[in-house]
Structure 1
Amino acid sequence: MTTMSAPAIGAGGHEAACDQSETRNLLQRIGDGWIRRAKVRREPIELCFDAARDDFLEERLPFHTHPGYRALDSATRTRILSAGWIIYNEKTVAIESAIVSPSCYDALDGRIPGLQPETIRHIVCETLVDEAYHLLLVANANRLTRTHRGLDDLRIPTFNLVRFMNREKAAYAEDWQKTLVHLATSVVSEIFVSDYLHQLSDCPHIQPMNTATVAAHRHDELAHSKIFTLLTETFYPALSPREQAFFADMLPKPIGWFADLELDIWASVLDQLGVPGAAGIIADCRPLNLAARSRLDYSRILGLSRDVGILDTAAGRDSFAAHGIAA
């Protein structure tokens, strides 16, 4: 992959939108605090399994109010909840390994303008260490869940979040375009993922191991959300006008991808579990995807877009409006 074209001085056009020195200082402080903050440097989580507890919250199932689901026997619903926990973890794995980590390597390899300073490279390396720990954390949790619940053979297909990103990348011929599609997806995912983890991170009603796993993960992701916001404030002004316009057009798209209910995943999983009436349950839930984006709080994406200058342009505002997001 070739390096994106280096912009001429002032090519970014939004130097005043963000105070670069303050952004760098904030990144430096976050990086310096990693030794105290990062969960990878703490004592390991006690992975004790309580078979009497449900593994997941029913309200996180996209079909939890469907009569077909409510009519299932308790044993089947318990297995579905265990599968829901496995899906939940596998999606975090997909976000870390297929989306965020490749963008970190793009930054380290010099494929993203403005992210070459050693301070930034250092914090990107710390982020990669965090992400590797998160992968281990959820892999251990899923391994125990699969073993205790008899779900060793359950297979999780590719998530739409990853499929949609890869499909979008394939639509463009230039390497810099593919890099920015991936980067936009990483920025949106890292801003949203702490909210994705929030509900389970302090839930007293489910498997204590699962709550502890999610809480540890979310602790780091709260910092990552800030890191990726600051990185965006750093690289966006360094893009050429053409690259800025492309990134502005791309940024709203992953909001919808992240919000997707992943019903294709659930169709496969319910089929594997032998759930009666599964096809009808999933079919009835398909219309819910039309309103999935409205269930996300994307105010931080809008705030970031405003801070870097995307919403100062008609094209930037139009890009959000085209996806039903009022800027």
Structure 2
Amino acid sequence: MTTMSAPAIAPGGTDAAHQHEQSEVKALLQRIGDGWIKRAKVRRDAVDLAFDPARPDFLEELLPFHAHPLYQRLAPELKSKILSAGWIIYNEKTVAIESAIVSPSCYDALDGRIPGLTDETSRQIVCETLVDEAYHLLLVANANRLTRAQRGLEDLKIPGFNLVTMMNREKAVQSEDWQKILVHLATSVVSEIFVSDYLHQLSDCTEIQPMNMATVAAHRHDELAHSKIFTLMTKTFYPALSPREQAFFASVLPKPIEWFADLELDIWSSVLEQLRVPGAATIVADCRPLNAAARERLDYTGIVGLSHEVGILSTDAGRNSFTAMGIAI
């Protein structure tokens, strides 16, 4: 088991001020943890999986190629299949975030590999988060199973997501276990802050399949709390890192912003080919330039604000990493 270095006071903070701030953060985490029994969707009634075949499964405007003339000229039946595939991809991305990104960081915390998160309050929160994530996996698996059966998409294959691929690629170039843990943790923090907005696009959309809206709304209900939890946990673990670890975390933190924003066009290339969409290669190729500006679709002010609060942007490593990616600080 990898153990990181001894705790360090956050840049610019005094020991007394640091202890007071940490006490407040822990108290807030404890309140959130104690409220889980009443808040968590897994503790409530199951989502109604009634299916309305007349409703579209997904919002057309969320397709990266929705304005492309070749897509616009497709037959309504094929467009409907593409929208259903979009819903399946949307759910599979949430599965990737929960299972490949967030849950492993939770286990790192439970196994004592993240400084500052070894106390009982943190362990309680992490365990509750893992229960939530397991329920979300069941939630979207049920929705995708029903959608595939109703729309004749049982054999549709969804390749791996760039969000996970890029995180793993970054981990692979690091030589130390603690660096790999912090790369993964940075990706978890960014993903949990972003995922609420990602889900909000469909959580109150009455145009789509009612089951789909209800599924996303239930998921987002929990993720609103998770965003707050991971923000507070960052305020707990970052000051507990050594100066070297803090500098490394600061250098990595903005990278998952770009990874999360990726339009996942490789997945769409595969899916459109599987659906035998005419002009699929042209549609995807013409959308490639959009990926360069994909980050601007995201509101990353929460991550910038958090980085200011914990002192990341008071360091050269933090400022340099954000500005190198063109992120205003």
Task: State how far apart, in whole Å, the 2-side matches of 1:217 and 1:20 are.
Answer: 29
Sort the Cα spacing of 1:155 and 1:14 in 2 relative to 1 into closer, same or farther, 3 A.
farther
The 8 Å contact of residues 11 and 240 in structure 1, kept in 2 or not, is answered as no
Counterpart residue identity of residue 191, structure 1: I
Task: State how far apart, in whole Å, the 2-side matches of 1:59 and 1:11 are.
Answer: 43
Cα offsets for 1:58-93 (capped at 9, x unmatched): 000000000010000000000000000000000000
Deviation at 1:127, TM superposition (A): 0.3
Corresponding residue of 2:268: 266
Which runs of 5 or more structure 1 residues have no equivalent in the other structure?
none
1:1-327 mapped onto 2 (5 Å cutoff): 1-7=1-7, 10=9, 14=13, 16=17, 19-327=21-329
Segments of 4+ in structure 1 off by > 2 A? 9-18
Sort the Cα spacing of 1:293 and 1:141 in 2 relative to 1 into closer, same or farther, 3 A.
same
**TM-score in terms of structure 1 length:** 0.98
Which runs of 5 or more structure 2 residues have no equivalent in the other structure?
none
- The SS at the match of 1:19 is helix
Deviation at 1:226, TM superposition (A): 0.1
Task: State how far apart, in whole Å, the 1-side matches of 2:233 and 2:328 are.
Answer: 24
Deviation at 1:3, TM superposition (A): 1.6
The 8 Å contact of residues 58 and 86 in structure 2, kept in 1 or not, is answered as yes
Cα offsets for 1:8-59 (capped at 9, x unmatched): x548764647811110011001001001100000011110010000000000
Deviation at 1:266, TM superposition (A): 0.2
The 8 Å contact of residues 113 and 239 in structure 1, kept in 2 or not, is answered as yes
Task: Give aligned-pair identity as a percent.
Answer: 78
Cα offsets for 1:166-197 (capped at 9, x unmatched): 00000011000000000000000000000000
Cα offsets for 1:283-322 (capped at 9, x unmatched): 0000000000111100000010000001112321111001
The 8 Å contact of residues 14 and 237 in structure 1, kept in 2 or not, is answered as no
Task: State how far apart, in whole Å, the 1-side matches of 2:271 and 2:4 are.
Answer: 41
**TM-score in terms of structure 2 length:** 0.97
Aligned residues: 326
- The SS at the match of 1:75 is helix
Task: State how far apart, in whole Å, the 2-side matches of 1:83 and 1:244 are.
Answer: 41
